Structure 1
């Protein structure tokens, strides 16, 4: 097929459809006309895709049809079914697809944290770098435990701060640098603090105050780092898809992860705000934190596996994401 000739013949119809799609109001005849033109241009797009798949033409017609469909059918009105589907299908699928990245980030983080902790605990010079003896003693005896103040404002502050860090880690993941920096910095800080507490004989207190909320909170940060690095790796190795298409799809799926993490971090914020610093027995605090983590893991591993098996990725469906040019693998 001669694409130039095909375009020249049908351009008036495309231009007319574009014009009608931009109008605020349509009369009866124009409404009938836009439906007819929509059907005709959809056929043109199918013909181009099969006979002469020019990316520019495919993109132009896809965008034109999207605008026209919105004009004909109206914008999509979210329903409760969309919310439920997002929560039980899209979010778990997006999380499940990066499960091995999450595992790798978790192992690396713990290795760095333990190394930093042991170093500070056994090396006098490393311990001295944490502050003067009086500063360290004051932190161990008072500051560390007093930070966890059971109240709603504290829980809200922790939630918004952690959710913002997670969103930044994912959004800037394409650089490949920021997620590594955030994860590495947090691993060293947590490990060094634990090492200092251990050097003063307060490692049990450290674990009792970190574990209740930290199990879910740190796992959420691991997920954010994994999502950011997955986005970076998609840029490095897009596979059979064109790089821009692969990045767009993964980017939308990672935004789904951000929403899921906001909910998970909200739960960990409640645990940190009302459980960690409470008068409950330490074993009960840790049990509550472990149950919160178990619920999160079961949520995305069980529902996510089911969703991915059904072909879900966490990305928008084709109707909302827009059509793309097929690429041979």
Structure 2
């Protein structure tokens, strides 16, 4: 596309749209309002053509501003409110998690199986344990009242919950935000979590205290690990979108999946906050082991019902987890 010819052909339309927008303080006639809508649609198409064929920064900037102003005039300004919050948690977030299930469910199963294998390998091979820490340090970790047990009560519950939530939310955000880098950062976060879990299983299993370890990890770990696996699966899906965007353009596909991933980060932050509270207040509590594990199983079950019942219903109704249509950029339709 010859950019100079394109600008010369359409400059008058852009100037006319700008003039109509400047006159919005006064009431436009019916004909002028129709003209504004028509010019807005044409200019949005022009912007898409320039972005795809000859992305001149100055022209793209001017048209983007013009389209945004016209869009506000045509659709009316809208501010986020409690309705948006309710829509997000009742529809967008569970639907987005459900739509990603084919990525995060296998991720969860494979990661758990790998952690179990690592745990068995460590428990069955004393020479491997010796590479992890000195014998005295290992005994200090695994003995009754040792490091694994006192870890959850080593700090005041409130500050511990905040610390745990911050660390886990950061790991989830890395998976979601940096998944576009072909999923490589996601695999690193997964590897760290799997190894840490496997080491705990192996060391406590080597001294016959695997039941104690599970009693400590399951109350909060079920929901916490599920959230991490959801983030990892979504990040891997985003990475795959870079490779295979499907019928969409790569740019449009990344924009759609990226917006959904950012929304997932917000939702998972709340999920991880719940698991952090359980880890700080329930895991180290004097409640019987069965009661602590029962709380963890109950919360995990509620989350899965939230995703696979409510999320499936919303996904089947067309919800994708993306922002509402009025908040998306205008795009030129493309053939599949």
- Normalised by the size of structure 2, how large is the TM-score? 0.87
What are the Cα deviations for residues 54-85 of structure 1, in whole angstroms up to 9, with x where unaligned?
Answer: 95599966763332232566532223222111
For structure 1, the 5+ residue unaligned runs are none
How far apart, CA to CA, are the structure 2 residues paired with 1:102 and 1:157? Answer: 25
Q: Which residue of 2 aligns with 1:159?
A: 165
**Partners of 1:95 and 1:223 in 2: CA distance:** 7
RMSD: 3.1
8 Å Cα contact 2:98/2:315 also seen in 1: yes
Match for residue 79 of structure 1? Answer: 81
Match of 1:66 among 65, 68, 82: 68
Query: Corresponding residue for 1:148?
Result: 152
Other structure's SS at 1:172 match: helix
Corresponding position of 2:174 = 168
Aligned partner of 2:42 in structure 1 is: 44
Structure 2 counterparts to residues 1-329 of structure 1, below 5 A: 8=8, 10-18=10-18, 27-28=25-26, 35=33, 37-42=35-40, 44=42, 55=52, 64-71=66-73, 75-141=77-143, 142-149=146-153, 151-175=157-181, 176-329=183-336
CA gap 1:207/1:268 in 2 versus in 1, 3 angstroms:
same
Q: Distance in 1 between matches of 2:286 and 2:151?
A: 14
The verdict on how the C-alpha distance between 1:14 and 1:285 changes in structure 2, with shifts beyond 3 A counting, is same
Q: For 1:214 and 1:37, locate their aligned partners in 2 and report how far apart those are by CA, in whole Å.
A: 59
Superimposed CA distance per residue, residues 95-140 of structure 1 (whole angstroms, 9 cap, x where no aligned partner):
1110111111011101210111011000121111121111001011
Equivalent residue pairs, number: 324
Deviation at 1:34, TM superposition (A): 7.7
In structure 2, the CA distance between the partners of 1:44 and 1:173, relative to structure 1 (3 Å rule), is: closer
Residues 62, 323 of structure 1: 8 Å contact kept: no
Distance 2:196 2:37 in 1: 60
Tell me, in whole angstroms, the C-alpha distance in 2 between the residues paired with 1:113 and 1:29. 67
Gaps spanning 5+ residues in structure 2: where?
A: none
